[in-house]
Amino acid sequence: MAVAFRTTRLNLTSDFFALTSPTVLLITPPLTQLNTPYPATAYIKGFLGGRGYAVTQADLGLELVLKLFSKAGLTRVFAEIETGSFKLSDNVRRMLRLKNSYLSTVEPVVRFLQNKDSTLAPRICHSRYLPEASRFDNVADLETAFGTMGLTDQARHLATLYLEDLGDLLKETVGPQFGFSRYAEKLGMSATTFDELHAALQTQPNLLDELLLELLDDLVARVQPDVVGFTVPFPGNLYGALRLAGRIKQTSPATYTIMGGGYPNTELRNIKEPRFFDYIDFLTLDDGEGPWLRLLEAISGQEERHAEQSAVAPKHDVLFTAQFQRTFLRNAAGEVEYINHPQPDIPHPEVGTPDYSDLPLSEYLSVIEVLNPMHRLWSDGRWNKLTVAHGCYWKRCSFCDVTLDYIGRYETAPSALLADRIEQIVAQTGQTGFHFVDEAAPPLALRDLAIELLKRRTGITWWGNIRFEKTFSPDLCRLLAASGCIAVSGGLEVASDRLLALMEKGVTIAQVARVTDGFTQAGVMVHAYLMYGFPTQTTQETVDSLEIVRQLFETGIIQSGYWHRFSMTAHSPVGKNPAKYQVAAVGPEPGPFAWNDLWHDDPTGTDHGQFGPGLAKALYNYLHGVALHEPLGSWFDFRVPKTTVSRNVVAQALQEPTKPDFAKQNLRLFWLGNAPELRLETGKKSGRALLTFYEQAEDFELKVPAALGSWLNDLLIRLSTDYDTKILLKDAARDFPAGQPFERFLESEAWLTLREKGLLLL
């Protein structure tokens, strides 16, 4: 059914500026994550709220799922299936016969996954409580893999399978575009033209669309916004955003719509499609704070300007060109135009603290979808999202979109400011878990933040993405762990030193091994992003890369990983200059809508596609400590060459000697423990000192000469009470008591014991 839309003007009339202090509604459209809110709206709300704007935010992905997976929602689903003409599989027919069981269990299961009714776990695990469809076919094997996990975790995984069964029911019938972390994703992927997406938006809404629009209508009636913003981080958010924006154009034609996010930033940078602006008035690129501020400054109105202009011209003829920043719109001629006045970006320290108010934090679902421990962090538990630094400090990797602002412009914020923001978020949300969402969190910024967190005794739990670079020394890994770090992920990519150099990753296999070992020894889980199919990669290099991954798991220095195939993008160095990497771009031709993912031929490489299933199968087994000594060729259904990599490459890298402490005179001393108690012994043992340390898990003692004991006691008291003064190793050496060379003391049992117990050199 065709819908008529209002046209947006470039030469904005004074009617546009008649509003004062516009009310803003920010929406995350379906679907991203079920366990935690995507942070974009919280960032913009925090920034705009700090400047006095009235902002409301909503996660309509979560609200759609909660409305759908309720007794009332499923009743509507089953009714539409029963009255429709769907072609049903045996699996769906079975689920229809179990309709009453699903209707009676869906709300208790959702409450359980919201951590509101943990007592349901025994029934889920030990009785026939849940109706089971095809997702439960391999549940016996899964329960074996979950053998060391607790009852609640097993129940959460079974409850997740139950929801996925219902998701399959929807996809086969009333909601073919549904996915728990995406919505009509196919329509937004590699969509060089707008035709297919526009046609889908012009059709009558299906049941899931109707539920979504009902939620929107209630929200708009309550908020009555002047401006509605949509964040579209992924292709699976685009259809939902445009369907919602179209409804706003129908019901509230005076309301302006704005879109931004990761998808526009990568896919829509050259948009020329005017029909897109039937739905969205303003499309912004890169960081949203600056463009939003310029737009709202315009919308907030120039009342004096309007009064002056209206004195010489009718209201509808008064024109004004706003100082927009990084903004697409459709002009009076019906053409797409990009406006980017040279306004300064909002510096990273000034973007404000994410504001999670309005979001129903207790309503998110903690699910366990797969047995990969890092993927579990993504889907289980509610994590506050925060950025340590804007952009990437390395920004050289040839496969990455380093030419875009969100990666290429690197800015940091002071550690004290970051700690302030963390404390504000904890006070607001009541949650102490944080996911640092940096492209690659800089090691020195993490060091300073960790020290600030320890100084304030801010007891948070956090994880994030890093580069496996040598700055992450074992001591720094221990410091990060002490500040609350539980996991890191980083790109090993193709485990080949030749290809790592070609992609300008800035790491080597040996270096990755040492860094991952440092984190593992500190008790931090390590996830490796793995790549295959990089330009010029040979079959031999693919097999050798798998052998390195096998050794990393065999030595226990990574605990999680994921293979993805290389994709050439328009904004990466490879995409910008494919000839340099000996590949040829073969399409698609740029169209009027999206353009980012590029097709390419790799004439000097191998048939990369054939390796995907075998690499995934091998990794799944390695994750569980299984088949680590099976021949590499057994994972593939075709012949592959034997590896040329020595079977102890990783082990040898871990045995390489490190610099002695005496060579680290310019490093900072940091003590993770408490101040000791000093007792000078008398009698036959006079001249000796006893230092007693009372720590979290165990107490320990050091017996040293009296002069040395007093020196150590003073040093450790200063280190444990004064975090602001940096004491370098050479500073401590200047006060070292006479009697033995300082270098010899750094090799003594007392010093080595302190190093083991938490005396760090950073």
Residue ranges of the domains in the chain?
12-62+183-350, 87-172, 366-654, 661-761
Each residue of 360-370: pLDDT tens digit? 999 999 988 77
Q: Please check whether residue 241 is in contact with residue 259, taking contact to mean a CB–CB distance below 8 angstroms.
A: yes
Higher pLDDT, 315 or 98: 98
Each residue of 79-113: pLDDT tens digit? 999 998 999 999 999 999 999 999 999 999 999 99
The answer to whether residue 353 scores a pLDDT higher than 90 is: yes
Distance CA 704, CA 133 (A): 68
**Quick one: pLDDT band at residue 149, thresholds 50, 70, 90?**
low
The whole-number average pLDDT for the span 517-533 is: 97
Burial degree of 190 (CB within 10 A; 0-12, 13-18, 19+): middle
**Quick one: pLDDT band at residue 141, thresholds 50, 70, 90?**
low
Tokens standing for residue 408: 């290429």
**Quick one: pLDDT band at residue 145, thresholds 50, 70, 90?**
low
Pairing of strands 688-694, 597-601: unpaired
Q: Which residue has the tokens 């423990």?
A: 673
Tokens standing for residue 705: 């000469």
Each residue of 588-625: pLDDT tens digit? 989 999 999 999 999 888 889 999 999 999 999 999 99
The whole-number average pLDDT for the span 494-512 is: 95
Each residue of 565-582: pLDDT tens digit? 999 999 999 999 999 999
Instruction: Specify the pLDDT at position 12.
Output: 46
Instruction: Specify the pLDDT at position 302.
Output: 42
The answer to whether residue 307 scores a pLDDT higher than 60 is: no
Please tell me the least confidently modeled range out of 123-137, 315-329, 330-344.
Answer: 315-329
Instruction: Specify the pLDDT at position 6.
Output: 39
Kindly report the three-state secondary structure assignment for every residue of 618-664: HHHHHHCCCCCCCCHHHHCCCCCCCCCCCCCHHHHHHCCCCCCHHHC
Distance CA 355, CA 49 (A): 8
Question: What is the pTM assigned to this prediction?
Answer: 0.92
Question: Helix, strand, or coil here: 678?
Answer: strand
Each residue of 117-128: pLDDT tens digit? 999 999 999 888
Instruction: Specify the pLDDT at position 140.
Output: 59
Fold of 366-654: pyruvate-formate lyase- activating enzyme (3.80.30)
Q: What is the domain class of 12-62+183-350 according to CATH? A: alpha beta
pLDDT over 90, % of the chain = 80
Tokens standing for residue 605: 């490489």
